[in-house]
Amino acid sequence: MSITAQAATPASPPATGLTSAEVDQRRRDGLTNDVPERASRSVREIVRANIFTRINAILGVLFILVLATGSIIDGMFGLLIVANSAIGIFQEVRAKKTLDQLAIVGQAQPMVRREGKAQAVAPQEVVLDDIIELGPGDQIVVDGEVIEAELLEVDESLLTGEADPIDKSVGAPVMSGSFVVSGSGAYRATKVGKDAYAAKLADEASKFTLVNSELRNGINTILKVITYLLIPAGLLSIYNQLVSSGESWRPAVNGMVAALVPMVPEGLVLMTSIAFAVGVVRLGRRQCLVQELPAIEGLARVDVVCADKTGTLTENGMRLGEIRPVDGDSVGAALALNGESGSGAGGSQDLRQVLAALAANDPRPNASVLAIAEALPDNPGWRTSGVAPFSSAKKWSGFSFGEHGNWLLGAPDVLLDSNSDIASTAQEIGAQGLRVLLLASSDRPVDAADAPGAVTPAALVVLEQRIRPDAQDTLEYFASQHVATKVISGDNAVSVGAVASSLGLTGGAHAVDARQLPSDQGELADVLENETVFGRVRPDQKRAMVGALQSRGHTVAMTGDGVNDVLALKDADIGVAMGSGSPATRSVAQIVLLDNKFATLPYVVGEGRRVIGNIERVSNLFLTKTVYSVVLAFLVGIAGVGSQIFHYEAIGYPFLPRHVTIAAWFTIGIPAFILSLAPNNERARTGFVKRVMRLAIPSGLVIGIMTFISYLMSYQGPDATETQKVQAGTTALITLLIIAVWVLAIVARPWVWWKVLLVAGSVVGYLVLFALPFTREFFKLDPTNAAFTTWACILGAIGIVLVEVAWYISARLQGETPHLLPTSPGEKP
């Protein structure tokens, strides 16, 4: 809980802030906090980035070469330039709009004092000299100087790396990007906009980017390798077509372009962008703000979720259940909130006044104080003479009320002797899943250096917590997906354990008190591997626990909503904040659940798995095409060079550009688009490049070699008639398509009905192209030579067997058991 001071009577009246006229003048003078609302690219930048790409440049040059030959039909691949750019622009603009709209909802709004009244404004509306009020959890949005301070402590670890909070008195500077840990106050804005230290967290948090993405880095690595292969393969193809083949320049250029176009994995980057963008939009519909795009990928890899209790497993709202006064004999009987009681009612009534005074003097009450204030609204009007704000480290807060005494409100197991009867009673109550606070008096002012001093217990304050109705289903989902859940809370360990047990979480019966945890990271990691529920965890311990889990190779997601969660959220692989949480938590989290529903997290994890798993699948298709194109180009090119050396008949490239275009239609293009958006619940793993290449390289080699053999068997020499050339190219194409469709079938595994239809649809599509006279004429296909077509099918069947063997061996090398069908009803391929 968090009790902060209401300012004692100041020596001079507090600053009333700027007037409306002064604010307008500063706006006209440009003295505003004119930082962009988001760091995302503008629409113009999106358009430019999607049009002027390296792949579009390569395809554009090849398209111009084909047009120069007069064969417009063979330039159909040029439509890829338009399609890639248009789809990429549409999806990224759509994702940008979704993120921008959600960012406005989740934006931290500072309380600015103008003309004596505090009002919430957007960070961009802050002007120079504005007076900005501060309370626990508030983020400091611009640089300034403190003008009011009541035990104000600021955490600057996000800027300096120093985790210890810093006391801020009047006149002390504060910097944007830091946040308030405890106390209250106000500061005057001295630097705004570009002159400020820069609110880097808010600026970078919502950027639509793929930076630090293992998937993106892997694809870039693959593209670099492909680029290096393209150079020799391209030069060899150019030499063979223009020099060795002996063909006229038009068919030679067409053959060269046909060889080079399929080497470019034009759809791989596009499909990756589409999958991420669609993921962002889907999550946005569930009121989930993805502030950093790699978070989708990161959550797909998560194997440990660290969840806070309050606000995550339980709802933020609480209700004051009862007040148990302490008399000289025992812990008194429960006192009903309507004041009806037997003997001792008068003393209990005094305690109710104390609680009412504590709640009324908190200008920024949290859920616990709000529950007390709601039940005890009658403020006795006592004046404060001392204040001790709550902090997560000491677990108590208090007010000194002069002649009415010094009063503390905090954790019983912190303020009391653990062997006392009252502490035992508090433990028993907490074991029922209730939250228990101790109301106690102190023999010295609460703001004394040696406070709290001698503590005299007065009453136990029992608060009822409501467990989120969707919490159990969420925990069961994570368990079914082999994602471990660790409950890490600052509350009493027994109380946290009771809540965890009620949700069916193992380990709740023996919750660990974090005060007993070892400080050594290795020993701490050992405890975390074996235990599930932890209570009385300090903010620095939460951070250490995240680090200890990461040291054992875990990918950790941390959820939280309070200021005490900030450090752990920042260090976790994925920080997830509740929309109702403090501005500081929302600013450091990669994902914000704006609807405050813990149950949204499984959808986020599922979306991440869908994106990553499907991109890996379609990558197999695109890279297989690149490999077999390079292999075929090398084989044809080497044969051409050999013809110059050994003086045998040279061969040209077997395909026209239109052939490689239709080859990609039903083996890659349409299936890849569908597969990239399909359900996929497999947890992402490291080693993306290695896994993809284990299938793509052998499959590409088989297709390239079998296609080359098929072409050699049907090639009639450079003097062959046009019909014979078309038949030879068709024969090679049939072999290629048979094996390529089977690679699609492998990538689609495990099979379900719609995937079977997808593969069958690809087969039907090609049968139609080969069967209809119009399409055969249009695409220059001639399968009428029965001998050649039979050989093409036989070589295709051999290729299927070889690819199947390669797939099986690849799966075994990865420690997997290959499956044609889903292995369990719960599997969602």
Task: Kindly write down the DSSP assignment for every residue of 774-821, as one continuous string.
Answer: HHHHHTT-----HHHHHHHHHHHHHHHHHHHHHHHHHHHHTT----SS
CA angle 356, 361, 367 (to 5 degrees): 75
Residue 826 has pLDDT above 60, yes or no: no
SS3 per residue for 69-125: CCCCHHHHHHHHHHHHHHHHHHHHHHHHHHHHHHHHHCCCCCEEEECCEEEECCHHH
Pairing of strands 591-593, 435-442: unpaired
Q: Mean pLDDT, to the nearest integer, of 432-451?
A: 85
Candidates 403, 356, 348; CA nearest to 376 is 356
Handedness of CA 141, 143, 149, 154 (dihedral sign): positive
What tokens does 124 get? Answer: 């961009």
The DSSP output letter for 681 is: -
Residue 77 has pLDDT above 70, yes or no: no
Residue 393: Cβ-neighbour burial (10 angstroms; 0-12, 13-18, 19+): middle
Residue 47: Cβ-neighbour burial (10 angstroms; 0-12, 13-18, 19+): middle
Judge contact between 716 and 651, C-beta under 8 A. no
Residue 587 has pLDDT above 70, yes or no: yes
Q: Which fold has domain 20-40+110-199?
A: 2.70.150
Pairing of strands 574-578, 556-560: parallel
Looking at residue 801, what is its pLDDT?
A: 95
Specify the residue for token string 């997601």: 557
Tens digits of per-residue pLDDT, 733-777? Answer: 999 999 999 999 998 888 888 999 999 999 999 999 999 999 999
Residue 410 has pLDDT above 50, yes or no: yes
What are the angstrom distances between the C-alpha of 155 and each of 47, 138, 181, 183, 431?
A: 40, 11, 6, 12, 34
Query: Cβ atoms within 10 A of the Cβ of 642, count?
Result: 13
Q: Mean pLDDT, to the nearest integer, of 235-250?
A: 69
Looking at residue 337, what is its pLDDT?
A: 33
Q: Is 129 an annotated catalytic residue?
A: no
718: phi then psi, degrees, rounded to nearest 5:
-65, -20
Looking at residue 248, what is its pLDDT?
A: 65
Contact partners, residue 153, CB within 8 Å, separation at least 6: 165, 166, 167, 168, 180, 181, 182, 183, 389, 391
Number of alpha carbons in the 13 Å side-chain half-sphere of residue 12:
4
Q: Which CATH number applies to 318-465?
A: 3.40.1110.10
pLDDT band at residue 8 using 50, 70 and 90 as cut-offs: very low
pTM of the entire predicted model: 0.68
Looking at residue 342, what is its pLDDT?
A: 37
Looking at residue 257, what is its pLDDT?
A: 74
pLDDT > 70 fraction of the chain, expressed in percent and rounded:
83
Out of 130, 143, 308, 782, the active site residue is 308
Residue 253 has pLDDT above 70, yes or no: yes
Looking at residue 162, what is its pLDDT?
A: 60
Candidates 674, 667, 658; CA nearest to 626 is 667
Give the domain ranges of the chain. 20-40+110-199, 215-283+605-813, 288-313+468-594, 318-465
- How far from the centroid of its chain's Cα atoms is residue 352's Cα? 46
Pairing of strands 533-535, 512-513: parallel
Cis peptide before 13 (omega within 30 of 0): no
What tokens does 175 get? Answer: 């910097």
Residue 218 has pLDDT above 50, yes or no: yes
Q: Mean pLDDT, to the nearest integer, of 363-379?
A: 79
Residue 471 has pLDDT above 90, yes or no: no
Most confident of 99-103, 161-165, 186-190, 586-590: 186-190
Residue 716 has pLDDT above 70, yes or no: yes
Measured CA to CA, the distance from residue 480 to residue 458 in angstroms comes to: 46
Residue 348 has pLDDT above 60, yes or no: no
506: phi then psi, degrees, rounded to nearest 5:
-65, 145
Q: Would you give the end-to-end CA distance of the chain in angstroms?
A: 45
Q: In what order do the strands lie in the sheet with 591-593?
A: 288-290, 591-593, 574-578, 556-560, 304-307, 484-488, 533-535, 512-513
571-574: Cβ within 8 A, 24+ apart? 571/543, 571/546, 571/547, 572/306, 572/546, 573/298, 573/301, 573/302, 574/295, 574/298, 574/299, 574/302
Candidates 351, 318, 358; CA nearest to 337 is 351
Judge contact between 382 and 357, C-beta under 8 A. yes
- Architecture per CATH, 288-313+468-594: 3-Layer(aba) Sandwich (3.40)
Candidates 73, 754, 759, 608; CA nearest to 305 is 608
Most confident of 18-27, 294-303, 326-335, 809-818: 18-27
Q: Mean pLDDT, to the nearest integer, of 84-113?
A: 71
7 or 16, which is more confident: 16
Q: Mean pLDDT, to the nearest integer, of 297-315?
A: 82
Average pLDDT of the chain is 79
> Of 87-96, 513-522, 630-639, 670-679, which gets the smallest average pLDDT?
87-96
pLDDT > 90 fraction of the chain, expressed in percent and rounded:
14
> Of 44-53, 467-476, 568-577, which gets the smallest average pLDDT?
44-53
Looking at residue 7, what is its pLDDT?
A: 38
Pairing of strands 396-400, 512-513: unpaired
CATH class of the domain at 215-283+605-813 = mainly alpha
Looking at residue 552, what is its pLDDT?
A: 92
Judge contact between 688 and 215, C-beta under 8 A. yes
Tens digits of per-residue pLDDT, 110-148? Answer: 889 988 888 888 888 889 889 998 888 788 888 899 998
